Amino acid sequence: MNASTDGRTLTSPVSALDPRTGIAHLGSSLAVEYDKRLMVVSGRANPGLAGRISEKLGVSLGGVTLRTFSNGEVYCRYEESIRGADLFIVQPTCGNPETGITANDALMELLLMVDAAVGASAHRVIAVTPWYGYSRQDKKSLGREPISARLVARALETAGADRVLAMDLHAGQIQGFFSKPVDHMTAMFMLTQYFRDMQLDDLVVVSPDAGRVKLAKKFAEKVGAELAILNKERPAQQVAEIAYVIGDVKDKTAVIIDDMIDTAGTLRAAADTVKDEGARCVYAAATHAVLSGNAFENLDAAGFEQVVLTDTIPIRDGAPDYIKVLSVADILTDTIRRIFTDDSVSEVFGGENQLF
C-alpha cells in the first residue's frame, strides 16, 4: 500500500486478509521515505555570520520577519513553511547597534523564534548561540545572586530548543545546566594556527587568571611556547587588579589569551603588568569580542601590537586597526552539517573541544 504526500512516499507492509471481515491489516511498522530539509535562519544579533554560514552550506537564509514594537516588545514570524525541517537559528545573545537590539532583546528574540518554530512543526530546532549570554553568572559569588546562565538554559529548553550549539563557553558547568544536548565548539585551534603562521620569536602565552590556566596551557602547547600566569583579583564587578606574574616574560613576546574581551579592563591591567615585568611586546587573543563600555580606550592605552578576535559577536563601529577578526563560519558550518546528518561533532576537533 503506497500513498504520496507532498512528494514523499509512505510504504506500508500489508498482512493477510482477515478471513472474518475481509479487511487487510497493516504490519507493525510504517516505512517512511523522504528527503530531510536543512534550514538556516538568522536573528538580528549577527546576521553577517548567519549569511556566511548559509553561503558555505549552499542554502539561502530562511525568511523571517523580526521587529521591535514601540513599547519594546519583540515580534517574529517565519515567512515560509518550516514544517518537518531541521531549523538552525543563528542568534548569539549579544547586542548589535546596527540592527538596534540589545543583548536582552537578542535573548528574547531567540526564545520567540524557537517557540514559533516549535509551533510551526519544525522537526528539530537547534539554537546556534556561538556567544552564550549571561555565561559569566554561572554560580553564586555572593548571597542572594541568581545563577543567570542556568536560567537562560531553562528558558531555551522551555521554549522548545532540541539542542544548543555554543562556542568557547565561559565555564564548563554551563553544559550541565541543560538536559538537552549541547555541542561545544572552540576557536582555539583557529587562533593557534594564526599565531603559528606569524612565527613570533620567544613566545610566552599568558593566562589572565587562574580560571583560564587550562586553556592557556593548551594554547601554549599548540604554538610551542612557554606559559605564564597572572594573579588577578576583582574588588568589584568589571574591575580587575593584577598583583604579579607567575613565570618568565622578560624580553619575550607575550600573548594574553582569554575566552572573551568585554570592557578590556582585565586585559589592560594584564598588559601593563606583563610590560612592567619586561615583556618586549604584547599581543592578545580571545574568541568573543563583547567590547562594551570604554573597551577601545582601554585597548589603546594597553599598547597591544595586535588583538585577534573572532566574529561570534559583530565588531561595533570605531574598532582600531590593530584588531584582527577571524571568522568562525567554517567551524560552525561543519558542525551544523554534522548535526544535520547525525554524524560525530567531536571529530571536528578530534575530541579536544572541552577546554576547561
Q: How far apart are CA 218 and CA 227, in angstroms?
A: 10
pLDDT band at 6 (very low <50, low <70, confident <90, very high): very low
pLDDT at residue 11 tops 50: no
pLDDT at residue 50 tops 60: yes
pLDDT of 2: 42
End-to-end CA distance of the chain: 54
Give the tens place of pLDDT for each residue, 141-159. Answer: 899 999 999 999 999 999 9
Q: What are the φ/ψ torsions at residue 77 (nearest 5 degrees)? A: -155, 130
Question: How deeply is 109 buried, as exposed, middle or buried, from its count of CB atoms within 10 A (0-12, 13-18, 19+)?
Answer: buried
Q: All domains of the chain, ordered by start, with CATH?
A: 2-33 (no CATH), 42-186+330-347 (3.40.50.2020), 188-326 (3.40.50.2020)
Q: Element (H or E) spanning 325, and its range?
A: strand 323-326
- In the residue annotation, 232 being an active-site residue is answered as yes
Locus of grid cell 520567540: 112
pLDDT band at 176 (very low <50, low <70, confident <90, very high): very high
Mean pLDDT, the chain, whole residue set: 90
pLDDT of 211: 82
pLDDT at residue 283 tops 70: yes
Q: How far is CA 99 from CA 49, 66, 196, 236, 259, in A?
A: 14, 10, 36, 32, 25
pLDDT of 243: 64
The one catalytic residue in 56, 232, 252, 275 is 232
